[in-house]
Amino acid sequence: MTSKAPGPATIAQEAPVGVRVRVHPGLCEGWGNCHRFAPAVYPLDAEGYIDVHLLDVPPDLADTARLGAEVCPARAITIIDQKGTRP
């Protein structure tokens, strides 16, 4: 009796997932570091304060969004990781 060798292992790969950004405008002190490090994610208003409250960030900008949040000295930005996969 012959048996077949098992085929190559199949590893399920998840599609990249974006993040959700929540800004706490009352905490923003207008330092502008979020915009300086992630201008595609964090727009500023005419007075230099962050101009978003809740934002869904696509996967290709997720790391940039995290960096912009990390450099905020006022900690006015929260990153909410999305769970699951996206097609």
- DSSP class of 85: -
Task: Tokens for 42, please give them.
Answer: 């964090």
Q: Which of the pair, 14 or 9, is modelled with greater confidence?
A: 14
Is the full-model pTM beyond 0.85?
no
pLDDT at 21 over 80: yes
Tens of pLDDT, residue by residue over 22-80, are 999 899 999 999 999 999 999 999 999 998 899 999 999 999 999 999 999 999 999 99
Q: Which of the pair, 8 or 15, is modelled with greater confidence?
A: 15
Q: Which of the pair, 86 or 71, is modelled with greater confidence?
A: 71
pLDDT attached to residue 17:
80
**CA dihedral of residues 33, 37, 42, 44 (deg, nearest 10):** 50
